[in-house]
Homo-oligomer: A and B are copies of this chain.
Amino acid sequence: MFHHPKIRNALLFFLVMAITIFFIIGRESSHRQRDTIVEAPIEAPDTYTPNELGVCTGRRWPADVPPLYVITPTYRRAEQIPELTRLAQTLLLVDSLVWIVVDDADEPTPAVVNYLQERRICHVYLIARMPAKFQKLKNPPRGVANRRKALEWLRKHAKKGGAFYFADDDNTYDTRLLDEIRHTKKVSMFPVGLVTQLGLSSPIVRNGKIVGFYDGWIANRKFPVDMAGFAVSVDFLNARPEADMPFLVGQEETKFLESLNFTLDDVELLSSNATTIRVWHTKTKKNNKAILGAKKLNYKDSNINFLQEQIWR
């Protein structure tokens, strides 16, 4: 049959058409993905106004308020969308905010991308997979690849003013602290609740000066602080091209701060001179992957099939 010239020509025609269509669709979607999702919908920088790419429209962006860049490492798990939902709803209360969400994933997580776009929160979505050599470790350096990726983005796009803050998606942030952070001139520090058996991590302040650190795990760290306990000015970072966070469990905070090269006299105290707790290291209980179905329940061809696609299995 394939030897019949008319049929062969028709098949050939369809084959060429199909390849062309696939090529166009593929190009289109990878193009769309690169432009609006994976890399940089925002170029806040020179002025404090977000760019015209659409993601930041509708949010309040007063001209005289310096931008706050909130860097959130995340990864795929049952709690990912709920945690991001809860954090997003805190950030939606804050003016002039760019949320840099960095996913530890090989490719963009559709649920996360969709959520961010649906809520029209001013955001940048990036992916940064933990390097393979660390993935096998029992206690790997979590969130480091993500934060380094965000710093890279900041150096490239955030050229002037404002501050950045590392905010994990399971912590709890009082928006009043976030509004203070944006004015950081160099490095700011403040107390964090619910950390270690002391329930608290904070600079020790006497007569307005930092005289030490109160933290359940001091070790030999020069800056024994929690990741949620400090913020840095964007200009200060940009003036220090060598500064970075190492893949070194337990040393991420101190080594990053040390690489910024400052003294305790440079540190600004927030949260009423470090006398109030406005951020907590809350942790969410891990859920197991969901079991697919209850055999006794008849849910074929029902809404349950749609819902099951939204849960982590």
Seen from chain A, the residues whose Cβ lies within 8 Å of a Cβ on chain B are 78-79, 81-83, 85-86, 89-90, 92-93, 172, 174-175, 191, 193-194, 197-200, 202-206, 211-214, 216, 218, 273-277, 280, 282-285, 287-291, 293-294, 296-299, 301-304, 306-308, 310-313
Contacts and interface: CB of A to CB of B under 8 A. Distances in A.
Nearest to A290: B199
Given A191-B307, A212-B298, 16 more contacts: A78-B194, A82-B193, A85-B280, A86-B172, A193-B310, A199-B290, A200-B307, A202-B304, A204-B302, A206-B302, A214-B299, A214-B304, A275-B306, A276-B306, A276-B307, A284-B285
Given A175-B89, A284-B284, A198 B301 contact: no
A80 to B, nearest CB: 11
A132 B223 CA distance: 48
Contact of A287 (B199, B274, B284): B199
A47 to B, nearest CB: 27
Contacts of A307: 191, 200, 202, 214, 274-277
Given A89-B93, A200-B290, A303 B216 contact: no
A59 B283 CA distance: 31
A198 B303 contact: no
A119 to B, nearest CB: 9
A299 B275 CA distance: 13
A212 B89 CA distance: 33
Given A93-B89, A284-B285, A291-B198, A310 B276 contact: yes
Nearest to A79: B282
From A199, A291, A293, residue with most partner B Cβ within 10 Å: A199
A273 B302 CA distance: 11
From A172, A212, A216, A301, residue with most partner B Cβ within 10 Å: A172
